[in-house]
A and B are shown apart, each in its own frame.
Chain A
């Protein structure tokens, strides 16, 4: 059978695609599939009993709620960080630039312990809020704090290069046409940054949903109040309830996947509005 081999201008498609699929299967799909098969072994009724347990549902709410909120907070402050780092020069700029990556590098348990120490009632920062009756640690506030901490670098690092890419002349053109600083920001700068902000938001959110180490030290882990979903899974594992653990995990996976798909779609939409072909 003589088949004509077609040569593409971009060679190596088969090889590259092959590696991609094998890698994806080994690292992502097969482990995730085992979650699914384990869950199926449970049967529908007991599956429902596990995932609809009020304590588990409360943990979903906390995990996803706090993760979305943390990602949103990081989007706002990450934008400000990136703005400061790109637009201004000041002494110590390089140091601050390096510090931003620290949450990436720090073992999460260390971060958790450090955060718990500082934000607890007697801690350096926590004691300042104590007189106003605000507890920052050992409750949902603590969860949020930990998630904000670990998610910060994502938005800064995705927005920074895109902001640096925006020519000064575009803003000058807007000002020349009579736009106020605020109008320029809302109509010119923000649309330019939207795809990057969404990417940063998605990354920070995904990281926050999966976070365990830093959260458990500051969350207090009070049932129905400050238990996160990963903790529920670990708890079940410690009781050798593997099927129950995977059931909770599979629900978490589905919600995460749906949310990330939505963010991706938003990104695609923002990108088209940005004009195709760069």
Chain B
């Protein structure tokens, strides 16, 4: 049950929420729609569900045009950030709701409903809560019930809008592993919206990065992390250090220093190099390559030490190294070092850098 999103555009007044967005989501995949707030990801999800209507474009569910179908008819499961459980119903009745409102001809018998609801409650490991009311559950439990409720109608696709957004950090981490395992079990095509790149990279088969209503990049988590195709993507997926300069003869020239970027890179007059904090080697200040910097602060909690350094021109650089390596080098705050990036991603400097 794949989803095809074809040239979807949506305006809210003068604000362009989505601009000619096309995405193909193959059957059985778990896809993350990732982007900063206001990028249109939730709007896109609501359009897929039929809760919102696009100004232009179409949504194909399993090859069939669903654009004119009402949310009732689309048979999609939708999970809301704030659960949206029915407060006056027990957990059992919440999950059973989708089955009970079916037209009489299609409605399963009440024994069948009971069986199916319990099977789903077991799937989300909450069958022991069947008689409770939503107000008696924790946030994580509520969201699992919301998921069971959405799955009860055997939806063609499962859509989740920031499903873990309202939960605290620990529960969120647990639940996203659990969602991944659940998806491996039931294989329903799923799309979830998140603004948390870690969540997207950890859970999804593929990540769609949206920015200002447009698709920036689509790819597997590795692909988009290791090979971002725009400065936005590079900047959005974790912290980066920026080096402004010009590219010539396979080197990025930053001030008087040159950093090798590989022969494949063509010459650029105005370029920006992106280096992630863990992609630096720390060398003694006397080394003849790399960029000189001074250690300002070392935060060494856990296995990885975070080091804040300043360049000669005063710009801040963040570096992460294993603490063992740091101890071996015997570096402390105030020391001078030379930073050599192991990998640099170079982009043309944009006229209006965001």
The verdict on A274 contacting chain B, using a C-beta distance below 8 Å, is yes
Do A273 and B101 form a contact, CB below 8 Å, given A178-B72, A179-B72?
no
The B-contacting residues of A in range 83-115, CB under 8 angstroms, are none
Q: How far is the CB of A120 from chain B (nearest CB, A)?
A: 46
Interchain CA distance A272-B46 in the complex, whole Å: 34
Query: Does chain B have a CB within 8 A of A170?
Result: yes
Interchain CB contact under 8 A, A170 and B84: yes
Across-interface contacts of B285 in A (CB, < 8 A) = none
**12 A-B pairs whose Cβ atoms sit less than 8 Å apart in the complex:** A173-B149, A177-B97, A177-B98, A177-B153, A178-B75, A178-B101, A179-B72, A179-B101, A180-B72, A187-B97, A273-B88, A275-B136
Q: Are B80 and A169 in contact (CB under 8 A)?
A: yes
Contact A167 B84 (CB under 8 A): yes
Is B77 among interface residues, defined by CB-CB distance under 8 A?
Answer: yes
What per-residue 1/0 map shows which CB atoms of B212-228 lie under 8 Å from chain A? 00000000000000000
A146-199: which residues lie under 8 A (CB-CB) from chain B? Answer: 167, 169-170, 172-180, 183, 187-188, 191-192
For residue B72, which residues in chain A have a CB less than 8 angstroms away from its CB? Answer: 175-176, 178-180
Mark each residue of chain B from 146 to 172: 1 if its CB lies under 8 Å from any CB of chain A, else 0. Answer: 100110110000000000000000000
B81 to nearest A CB, angstroms? Answer: 8
A5 CA to B78 CA in the complex, in Å?
54
Bitwise, B53-91 to A at CB < 8 A (1) or not (0) is: 000000000000000001110011110101011111000
Given A187-B97, A274-B87, A275-B87, check contact A176 B134 (CB 8 Å): no
In the complex, what's the smallest C-beta–C-beta distance from A96 to chain B, in angstroms? Answer: 27
* Contact of A173 with B133 at beta-carbon distance under 8 Å, contacts A178-B153, A179-B101 already known: no
Q: Judge if A277 is at the interface, Cβ distance under 8 Å.
A: yes
Bound complex: CA of A276 vs CA of B133, how far in Å? 8
Q: Which residues of A contact B76 (CB under 8 A)?
A: 176
Interface residues of A (CB under 8 A from B): 167, 169-170, 172-180, 183, 187-188, 191-192, 273-278
Confirm or deny: B135 has a beta carbon within 8 angstroms of a beta carbon on chain A.
yes
- B101 and A183 within 8 A (CB): yes
Residues of chain A contacted by B309 (CB below 8 angstroms): none
Contacting pair A192 B102 (CB below 8 A): no
> A192 vs B51: C-alpha distance in the bound complex, in angstroms?
22
CB of B49 within 8 Å of the partner chain? yes
A57 to B146, CA, bound (A): 56
List chain B residues, Cβ under 8 A from A180: 72, 101
Q: Are B88 and A275 in contact, with the CB atoms below 8 A?
A: yes
Which residues on the B side are within 8 Å of A169 (C-beta)? 80, 82, 84
- Knowing A177-B149, A178-B72, the reply to whether A172 touches B101 (Cβ < 8 A) is no
Q: How far is the CA of A178 from the CA of B149 in the complex (A)?
A: 12
Measured in the bound complex, the distance between the Cα atoms of B70 and A128 in whole Å is 44
A172 touches B71 (CB 8 A): yes
By beta carbon, the residue of chain B nearest A181 is B72
Determine if B133 and A176 form an interchain contact, defined as CB atoms under 8 angstroms apart: no
- The residues of A that contact B136 with a CB separation of less than 8 Å are 275-277
The answer for the CA separation of A153 and B70 in the assembled complex, in Å, is 37
C-alpha gap A176/B146 in the complex (Å): 12
Asked whether A178 lies within 8 Å of B88 as measured between CB atoms, the reply is no
Which chain A residues lie closer than 8 Å to B85 at the CB level? Answer: 170, 173
Chain B residue numbers with a CB within 8 Å of A175 are 51, 70-72
Q: Is the CB of A178 within 8 A of B87?
A: no
Indicate which residue in B80, B102, B133 contacts A178 across the interface (CB closer than 8 Å).
B102
